[in-house]
């Protein structure tokens, strides 16, 4: 018998010998397809019991958690475990009522897996909880996809993922949007997949009536309950680190961790990521819609108009071109240009470019009769910007705020030769350390 499933866009085929009926749980009903195209993964399902080879080492152990008044606690009983040897990865699950120990065998480098369900008889459930989630985990991990604890919604043409630790409000958030008539992709677990048009979120079968749903991902919010609705943009390593902390992952396999880290870094640089403290009612939906729909061009135009009126503004740095003086996520305080204090070489300024701002350092100035020309460059850029005029300078950086600390920006970039001396020293030190190790 053959059962074909499509989960998160992945085609999975379960197949058994003649005479053995495959009966997945109800929650898979809407994910089963009659289309018999070539699957990405085939799992051969056998009703008998198999044992982990004696030479395989246990690499991950997940004991059963039980509910207690103070929160979940370890019951001391086994739930599932992962073992590995050179040939394969072995996932053993401990089930009760009736007691059985299904074993999933994932031969390395092959998309043809074996599952021994440890059931007698002619009918078998190939995907009992938590085996289904484990199969999806290993499949997403191998494909470079991201499995994340989170709720996902599609509102006003935008796809938003809300993630956070347990109790942060992921389900609450899904309910708020659901009651406003928005499409909820899922309220508990999502698989994020990089597709041709960008990152997309997919539902997975968790509850009885789940069905395949998906939406583009525009913004990912790390949520927590707060006293008001406040969002703060995140970028770079901080954004990636916070997303990573909410991904479903097993930390025993270095290659899998590296793949996940690469995918999360790509995600964090492709979509917007923010921290969001929220009040659990419909106002957060209005807040997010009001925030989300302001374009970068409008924000830059508003910033320019405020600076032109003498108002200081703050923006968040998004790139690495001024590293290490300005890092992604730094809050940059911009002062309006002061006609009494002409700009000097070494100052860092915000230039209007492509409907937004570029914050770079002035490297040369040429004062003409009518106009002053500036040459600028990012401290970390190899190539200088084209010459600009003072009309393009929206403001200058007064200070930056990094992790709640206010910092003045240096007047000079680190000269290139110091950078190269440091690199050489690191290389020499590395050589010495290496020599010692020998």
Partner 1 sequence: MISVSSIPSHSPRVVFRRINDECLLIPLTDNIADMDSLYRLNESGVYIWELIDGKRDIRDITALMAEEFDVDPHEAEKDIILFLEQVQGFLHFREK
Q: Which pair of tokens denotes residue 279?
A: 């009040």
To the nearest whole angstrom, how small is the minimum distance from the Cβ of residue 216 to partner 1?
A: 21
**What is the 8-class DSSP label of residue 185?**
E
Q: Is 180 in the site for partner 1 (CB under 8 A)?
A: no
The span of 172-180, 228-236, 362-370, 387-395 binding partner 1 (CB under 8 A) equals 228-236
Q: Is 271 in the site for partner 1 (CB under 8 A)?
A: no
Choice from 59, 206, 248, 301 touching partner 1 (CB under 8 A)? 301
d(CA 253, CA 31): 29
Q: Is 231 in the site for partner 1 (CB under 8 A)?
A: yes
Which regions of 393-435 does DSSP assign to beta strands (E)?
A: 393-402, 405-407
Q: Which pair of tokens denotes residue 246?
A: 């909410």
Check: CB of residue 88 under 8 Å from CB of residue 106: yes
Choice from 33, 257, 316, 363 touching partner 1 (CB under 8 A)? 316
d(CA 348, CA 337): 12
Site string for partner 1, 404-423 (x = CB under 8 A): --------------------
Q: How far is CA 424 from CA 163, 324, 412, 427, in A?
A: 42, 18, 22, 5
The span of 70-78, 107-115, 200-208, 224-232 binding partner 1 (CB under 8 A) equals 224-232
Q: Is 171 in the site for partner 1 (CB under 8 A)?
A: no
Q: Is 291 in the site for partner 1 (CB under 8 A)?
A: yes
Site string for partner 1, 50-79 (x = CB under 8 A): ------------------------------
To the nearest whole angstrom, how small is the minimum distance from the Cβ of residue 305 to partner 1?
A: 6
Q: Is 293 in the site for partner 1 (CB under 8 A)?
A: yes
Instruction: Determine how many CB atoms are found less than 10 A away from the CB of residue 273.
Output: 24
Integer distance in angstroms from the first to the last C-alpha of the chain?
A: 59
**What is the 8-class DSSP label of residue 379?**
T
Q: Is 303 in the site for partner 1 (CB under 8 A)?
A: yes
Q: How far is CA 399 from CA 59, 122, 377, 394, in A?
A: 49, 72, 18, 15
d(CA 185, CA 182): 10
Closest to partner 1 by CB, 111 vs 289, is: 289
Check: CB of residue 272 under 8 Å from CB of residue 316: no
The span of 44-52, 201-209, 290-298, 358-366 binding partner 1 (CB under 8 A) equals 290-298
d(CA 260, CA 75): 30
d(CA 256, CA 373): 51
Choice from 66, 195, 286, 403 touching partner 1 (CB under 8 A)? 286
To the nearest whole angstrom, how small is the minimum distance from the Cβ of residue 233 to partner 1?
A: 5
Q: Is 232 in the site for partner 1 (CB under 8 A)?
A: yes
DSSP element (H, E) containing 377 = strand 372-377
To the nearest whole angstrom, how small is the minimum distance from the Cβ of residue 102 to partner 1?
A: 49
Nearest to 386 by CA among 419, 364, 356, 368: 364
To the nearest whole angstrom, how small is the minimum distance from the Cβ of residue 372 to partner 1?
A: 26
Q: Is 179 in the site for partner 1 (CB under 8 A)?
A: no
The span of 1-9, 27-35, 70-78, 281-289 binding partner 1 (CB under 8 A) equals 281-289
To the nearest whole angstrom, how small is the minimum distance from the Cβ of residue 246 to partner 1?
A: 22
- Report the interface residues with partner 1, using CB under 8 A: 228, 230-233, 283, 286-287, 290-291, 293-295, 297-299, 301-303, 305-306, 311-316, 331, 333
């Amino acid at each position: 018998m053959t059962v074909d499933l499509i989960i998160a866009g992945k085609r999975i085929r379960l197949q058994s010998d003649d005479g053995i009926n495959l009966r997945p749980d109800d929650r898979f009903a809407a994910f089963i397809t009659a289309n018999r195209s070539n699957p990405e993964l085939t799992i051969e399902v056998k009703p008998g019991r198999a044992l982990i080879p004696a030479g395989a080492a246990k690499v991950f152990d997940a004991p059963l958690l039980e509910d207690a008044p103070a929160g979940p606690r370890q019951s001391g009983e086994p739930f599932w475990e992962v073992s590995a040897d050179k040939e394969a990865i072995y996932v053993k699950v401990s089930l009760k009522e009736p007691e059985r120990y299904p074993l999933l065998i994932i031969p390395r480098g092959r998309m043809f897996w074996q599952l021994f369900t440890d059931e007698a008889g002619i009918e078998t459930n190939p995907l009992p909880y938590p085996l289904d989630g484990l199969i999806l985990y290993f499949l997403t991990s191998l494909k470079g996809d991201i499995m994340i604890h989170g709720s996902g919604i599609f509102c006003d043409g935008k796809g938003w993922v809300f993630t956070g630790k347990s109790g942060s409000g992921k389900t609450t958030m899904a309910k708020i949007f659901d009651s406003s008539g928005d499409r909820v992709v899922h309220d508990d677990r999502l698989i994020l997949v990089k597709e041709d048009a960008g990152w997309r979120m997919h539902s997975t079968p968790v509850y009885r009536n789940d069905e395949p749903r998906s939406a583009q991902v525009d913004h990912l919010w790390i949520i927590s309950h707060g006293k008001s609705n406040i969002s703060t943009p995140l970028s770079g390593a901080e954004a990636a680190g916070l997303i990573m902390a909410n991904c479903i992952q097993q930390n025993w396999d270095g290659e899998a961790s590296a793949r996940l880290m690469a995918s999360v870094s790509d995600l964090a640089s492709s979509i917007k990521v923010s921290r969001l403290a929220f009040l659990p009612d419909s106002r957060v939906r209005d807040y997010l819609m009001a925030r989300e729909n302001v374009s970068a061009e409008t924000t830059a135009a508003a910033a320019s108009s405020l600076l032109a009126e003498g108002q200081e503004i703050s923006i968040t740095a998004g790139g690495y071109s001024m590293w290490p003086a300005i890092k992604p996520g730094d809050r940059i305080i911009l002062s309006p240009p002061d006609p009494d204090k002409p700009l000097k070489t070494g100052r860092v300024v915000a230039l209007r470019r492509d409907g937004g701002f570029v914050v770079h350092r002035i490297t040369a100035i040429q004062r003409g009769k009518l106009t002053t020309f500036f040459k600028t460059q990012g401290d970390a850029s190899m190539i200088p910007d084209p010459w600009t005029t003072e009309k393009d300078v929206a403001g200058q950086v007064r200070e930056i705020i990094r992790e709640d600390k206010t910092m003045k920006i240096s007047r000079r970039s680190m000269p290139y030769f110091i950078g190269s001396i440091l690199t050489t020293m690191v290389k020499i030190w590395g050589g010495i350390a290496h020599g010692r190790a020998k």
